[in-house]
Amino acid sequence: MKRIVIVTGASSGLGREFALQLAASRDCDEMWLMARRKDKLAELAGALGPRARVMDADLSGEAGVRRFAAILADESRRAKDGLIIDTLVNNAGFGTYGPFADTDLARQLEMINLNVVSLTGICHTALPFLERGSRVINVASLAGFIPLGNFAVYAATKAYVLSFSVAIAAELADSGVFVSTVCPGPVDTEFALVASNGARERVVDGKSPGDVVRHCLRDAERGRRVSVMAAKWKFKAFMSRFVGRYFFARHTWVHDKRPSR
């Protein structure tokens, strides 16, 4: 059996860090780097060595899920004894700042397609290739713990990822497949640049993506199914249980404007 590690959204940020750190920590035959930016993937593959494979693919929506399924099926046929997914990291996703009414609808539906539809479909498609000891890591967000004004759709998609991931973690526990969810707050990646459409280059007080991934992988080794790194982030996640959902959405709508063009 060929053992593989798959990282979606591997071209930058957390995805790139997951690929780098998993290459050093997991025993696999191949590491599949999946994203749309082939040049970035090729650069990363060069750093990872011969095990890395570049698979530039648009994974968005149902078409993206079919694309992922076709790749898995084709590669499984080519492998001598089939494939086993050692680790699957669902990192592909993006956010968009701004009021719901003022944000392009097509862009928001695209966000739902990638953050929710693709992640769900990829998890389901991967199931037959998982075995006892396999791991699934889904990237959610601190935003998934409570509704956010000026970030409504993104926070809702990450709330879905968190809820879905914990649920399938419970369903798959008896099979020995471990599912974990990483819920970072602000991280120093390209996220803000994309979310603000170029108005904000970096988030304020962004944490190192390397530190976030390192913490997530350490939590997974310890059997923690939800990974929240910084003390400030843990406090916010904990307090979300006691703050009214409407109150916090209204508070962020009034006091936490996010730049966008």
pTM: 0.94
Highest-scoring range by mean pLDDT, 161-175, 190-204, 237-251: 161-175
Structure tokens at 114: 């990638």
Tell me the mean pLDDT in the region 101-116.
Answer: 96
44-80 pLDDT, tens digit per residue, is 999 999 999 999 899 999 999 999 999 999 999 998 8
Three-state secondary structure of the chain: CEEEEEEECCCCHHHHHHHHHHHHHCCCCEEEEEECCHHHHHHHHHHHCCCEEEEECCCCHHHHHHHHHHHHHHHHHHCCCCEEEEEEEECCCCCCCCCHHHCCHHHHHHHHHHHHHHHHHHHHHHHHHCCCCCEEEEECCHHHHCCCCCCHHHHHHHHHHHHHHHHHHHHHHHHCCEEEEECCCCECCCHHHHHCCCCCCCCCCCECHHHHHHHHHHHHHCCCCEECCCHHHHHHHHHCCCCCHHHHHHHHHHHCCCCCC
- What is the CATH topology of the domain spanning 2-255? Rossmann fold (3.40.50)
Tell me the mean pLDDT in the region 166-188.
Answer: 97
Burial string for 103-119 (b: 16+ CB within 10 Å, else e) reads beeeebeebbbbbbbbb
198-235 pLDDT, tens digit per residue, is 767 777 788 999 999 999 999 999 999 999 999 999 99
**pLDDT for residue 259:** 75
Integer CA distances (angstroms), 189 to 25, 114, 193, 203, 206, in order:
23, 18, 8, 8, 8
Listed as own residue / partner, the contacts of 168-171 with beta carbons closer than 8 Å and 24 or more positions apart are 168/123, 168/136, 169/225
Q: Does residue 151 register a pLDDT over 80?
A: yes
- What does the domain layout of the chain look like in residue ranges? 2-255
Distance (Å, whole) CA 35 – CA 38: 7
Task: Report the catalytic residues.
Answer: 154
Distance (Å, whole) CA 79 – CA 199: 46
Structure tokens at 162: 């968190």
233-248 pLDDT, tens digit per residue, is 999 999 999 999 999 9
**pLDDT for residue 257:** 82
